[in-house]
Amino acid sequence: MINTKKMIFGLDSFGDIPTDDEGNVYTQAHAIRQVIREAKLADDLGIDVIALGEHHREEYAISSPDMVLAAIATITKKIKLATGVTVLSSDDPVRVYERFATLEAISNGRAEAVLGRGSFTESFPLFGYDLQDYDLLFEEKLNLYSKLLEEKPVTWEGKTRASLKDANVFPKTENGNIATRIAVGGSPESVVRTARYGFPLTLAIIGGSPERFKPYIELYKRAADKFENPAFPIAVHSHGMIADTDEEAIELAWNHIRKSFVKIGNDRGWAPMSREQFESEVQNGSFYVGSPETVAKRLARMIKTLGIGRFELVYGAGGLSASAREHMIELYATKVIPRVRELLSEA
């Protein structure tokens, strides 16, 4: 059963570079300040979570999401400050703990570490890791991180970083725990691992019918049961574009979401997304595009079908104007979210 009051709504950004209304492209520095401004807006409007992703490439300004979140912490009151994701495989678990414990202090307990293997690879050569160790790096580092979360001296040994003997790591948090989730893109093994460590699960659904992920949610629950860990409410992260009318939103999504998919896909050898593929994502797939009413209906249907507890809208894809981004956040907070809650309570 979905508790509509408890249903959590968030916004996700990778720090895409916006333009002004005349089409002038922001600097990366300005793009970061824009995200801080948007997070403040989201907090003022009562959105529950802002999640910032870590990337190390030209299209995205945010490589150090926890620093941006620290800035946001000082000008917001209630919004939860999450990453989406912190690429744990090419990071150091001790540092990750330290940074999030610091963010937890600055924000009075609003920090959330969202860890993943990452779907980009730039961070690996940048920090001296071998992609061949993709799996091992994540497994070992998650193991160490989960020990650090207990906030007691840690003794640890592995292949991917120096061993620790009775290492005491600071600062300690006031609540004794940093909220942590694992985000996965659809690898069954990652779903099982998340349940094995007893973390909540975020599914990044960036294409295709969301119904396809139903068995993955079942897999998470069954695995949690098997490992005698709690199964937490699932979060879903998907792309979206909200504007005053369907036509406007579709045009913006074609010009911006599709454009960024084509750019990224091109690096991976994918043929450019066709109009047919785009339409299918908008109608039945994983792009939530349209007027507030259209987006609310599609979200409510997906939330009901999958039985999730949290949704995060990836907003502001490549080159969308800052004013359109802010308008989307307003529509999401003031029209879409209340309407989704209403639709869910009707069921």
Please, how many CA atoms are within 13 Å of residue 25, restricted to the half-sphere of its CB? 10
Pairing of β 235-242 and β 164-167: unpaired
Q: Which among 108, 62, 94, 80 has a CA at the least distance from the CA of 161?
A: 94
Residues 212 to 231: which contact another protein by CB under 8 A?
212, 215-216, 218-219, 222-223, 226
Kindly tell me which of 34 and 286 has the beta carbon lying closer to another protein: 286
Residue 267 CB, nearest distance to another protein (Å)? 9
Alpha helices by DSSP H, the chain:
28-44, 65-75, 93-106, 123-126, 134-148, 188-197, 214-226, 246-267, 275-283, 292-306, 322-331, 337-346
Whether omega for the bond prior to residue 65 falls within 30 degrees of 0, making it cis, is: no
Binding residues for another protein, rule CB under 8 A, total: 34
Regarding 127 and contact with another protein (CB under 8 A), the answer is no
Binding mask 83-122 for another protein (x = CB under 8 A): ------------------------------------x-x-
Regarding 283 and contact with another protein (CB under 8 A), the answer is no
Regarding 305 and contact with another protein (CB under 8 A), the answer is no
Angle at 73 between CA 15 and CA 235, to 5 degrees: 60
Residue 258 CB, nearest distance to another protein (Å)? 13
Regarding 274 and contact with another protein (CB under 8 A), the answer is yes
Kindly tell me which of 186 and 309 has the beta carbon lying closer to another protein: 186
Distances (CA, A) of 213 to 65, 186, 187, 288, 298: 28, 8, 11, 16, 16
Kindly tell me which of 5 and 275 has the beta carbon lying closer to another protein: 275
Regarding 9 and contact with another protein (CB under 8 A), the answer is no
CA distance from start to end of the chain:
10
User: Where on the chain is the footprint of another protein (CB under 8 A)?
Assistant: 119, 121, 130-132, 134-135, 186-189, 191-192, 207-209, 212, 215-216, 218-219, 222-223, 226, 265, 268-271, 274, 276-277, 280, 285
